[in-house]
Amino acid sequence: MAAARMPDTAFVPTMGAFHEGHLHLMREAKKDGRPVCVSLFVNPLQFGPAEDLSRYPRNEQRDFDLAEQQGVDVIFAPVPAELTDHQNVSIHVKGLTERWEGAARPGHFDGVATIVAKLFNIVLPNVAYFGWKDLQQCLVIRQMVDDLNMPVRLEFLDTVRESDGLAMSSRNAYLSPEEREVAPRLYQTLQTASREIHADADIDGVLHSSRQSLAQSGFVVDYFELVSLRNLEPIRARSDCALIVAAKLGTTRLIDNLRLVSPQT
Ligand code: AMP
């Protein structure tokens, strides 16, 4: 596909099914003063064979209306073949993709990086907006942009949450009413762990009791770890790191994280 050559653009890549998290990215992009382009593309390359591609929520007309209400100038909503027809090149970011979501979802980040690179080449944005909600994705894209000298500035924005703390996610729609009631405990557990780590508690003990308390609430925990914000390796530190969690409630896999900065900053 030929590049669209929109000059001077702020770009928000998404998979649609918009919630306030997406709309926040659009509004912040708008503040940049440039025309805003939002892509709406449920990227098949980032879904594993056993994952939820076919049941991923889709509502294009609602998404178009919501984007327009945020002042978005262009929506790019390609049909899958436009971006996936040529699959002879794939971008693999080493290291950062090995653990966590990369381990749970083999090939996921290759799919993300390849499609984000293609979107960057089509939209040619000056600046692109992503959410810290997908912390590992942010670091993977930053590494790709740095290593491939891509001429785009990246902005990462904080997670938008429901009033009870649950991180907004298109996948929250899969939760049963009972699971939806339990789901905020994910963030509450992150907050408790963060407070305890800042209060100098033993970090291994904090991580262990966090995992236990989530399991007691009905979560099947994939990981609950403290990792370096530099390389995502487990670390025992009290700043420049992040608590990351992935856990299943029923069939729904939820992820969340909390970055730890030193209390005095
Ligand atoms: P998705 O449509 O899930 O691929 O998400 C598109 C962009 O929105 C990604 O950069 C996500 O990290 C970001 N995002 C998703 N959920 C949230 C949220 N609750 N708060 C802020 N950004 C989010």
Which of 72, 134, 135, 142 to mutate to test ligand 1, by most ligand atoms within 8 A of the CB atom?
A: 134
Flag the least confident range among 65-69, 194-198, 201-205, 261-265: 261-265
Is the minimum distance from the CB of 25 to ligand 1 under 6 angstroms? yes
pLDDT tens readout for residues 24-78: 999 999 999 999 999 999 999 999 988 879 989 999 999 999 999 999 999 999 9
Mean pLDDT of all residues in the chain? Answer: 95
Tokens of 90: 């794939």
Cα 131 to ligand 1 centre (Å): 5
Q: What is the pLDDT of residue 50?
A: 83
Is the minimum distance from the CB of 29 to ligand 1 under 6 angstroms? no
pLDDT tens readout for residues 73-110: 999 999 999 999 988 999 999 999 999 999 999 999 99
pTM for the whole thing? 0.96
Whether residue 1 has pLDDT greater than 70: no
Backbone angles phi, psi at 3, to 5 degrees: -70, 140
Is the minimum distance from the CB of 257 to ligand 1 under 6 angstroms? no
Whether residue 262 has pLDDT greater than 80: no
pLDDT tens readout for residues 147-180: 999 999 999 999 999 999 999 999 999 999 999 9
Q: Are 120 and 128 in contact (CB under 8 A)?
A: yes
β-bridge partners, 153: 127
Cα 2 to ligand 1 centre (Å): 27
Is the minimum distance from the CB of 46 to ligand 1 under 6 angstroms? no
Alpha helices in 1-41 (DSSP H): 20-31
Whether 86 is a known active-site residue: answer: no
Confidence band, pLDDT 50/70/90 cuts, at residue 263: low
